Amino acid sequence: MSAGERVLLVTGGGRGIGAAVCRLAAKAGYRVAVNYASNDAAAAALVREIEADGGKAIAVKGDVGSEADVVAMFEAVDRAFGRLDGLVNNAGIVDMKARVDEMSAARLERMMRVNVIGSMLCAREAVKRMSTLHGGKGGAIVNISSAASQLGSPGEYVDYAASKGAIDTFTIGLAREVAEEGVRVNAVRPGIIDTEIHASGGQPDRIAAIRGFVPMKREGKAEEVARAVLWLLSDEASYTTGGILNVSGGR
């Protein structure tokens, strides 16, 4: 099957790593569903950009932390494209820098609901469509984890790091669960990447502060992560499942 026949859904696709994945996927010929939670303008602008470059894309609004939104999102992709061949679980949140003994239950619940349960719900819906057990033709899921899952992020975002540790474990378990059903499941662990997520966590200068701790002495670009994601989605990675690829400059 050519990439041009394939349909890819990218959660949190309106900005950062997600947007970079959408752009590269569209250039490779995928028909792309750009999921976003609230920024209508950014998602619409990305769809226009892809279409102006000759690609096919739609914007699909939905909060991955809501089961109803997740189901509606996948149904919208069904209506628009009639199939699904790939899912990139990219949507995620980070909160303000804090110690664990300063974190509220509401913060912790939100973190896990969006970063962990949201990814699991999206994977559930993708497997229902792609698994040969359900009459599908196979496909690939790529989860976006983080180097934080191994570093723990003490004094900053232990809750975020823990949520990404859960994504690592989920990737391995789901990969083994659906390996015989034509569905490959892998993850990418980005390190310090130049995106808006640092500012959303109240640390717009975070990259400059910790760049020196990265062996390559620089931050990564969203497109560098996206290239790894596209490889894992592709037939070039046909014997790769349950893998977790670090894209972290050696950190």
For 48-99, write each residue's pLDDT tens digit: 999 999 999 999 999 999 999 999 999 999 999 999 999 999 999 999 999 9
Given 30, 36, 160, 239, the catalytic residue: 160
Can you give the pLDDT at residue 22?
98
- Model-wide pTM > 0.85: yes
Number of domains observed in the structure of the chain: 1
User: What residues contact residue 35 under an 8 Å CB cut-off, 6+ apart?
Assistant: 9, 10, 11, 12, 13, 14, 59, 60, 61, 62, 64, 73, 91
Burial of 238 (0-12, 13-18, 19+ CB in 10 A): exposed
Cα dihedral sign for 156, 162, 163, 169?
Answer: positive
Can you give the pLDDT at residue 197?
62
CATH of the domain at 166: 3.40.50.720
Domain that holds residue 173: 3-247
Tell me how far apart the alpha carbons of residues 221 and 219 are, in angstroms, rounded to a whole number: 7
Instruction: Give the chain's residues under pLDDT 50.
Output: 1, 198
- Whether the CB-CB separation of 148 and 167 falls below 8 Å is answered with no
Active site residue 160: yes
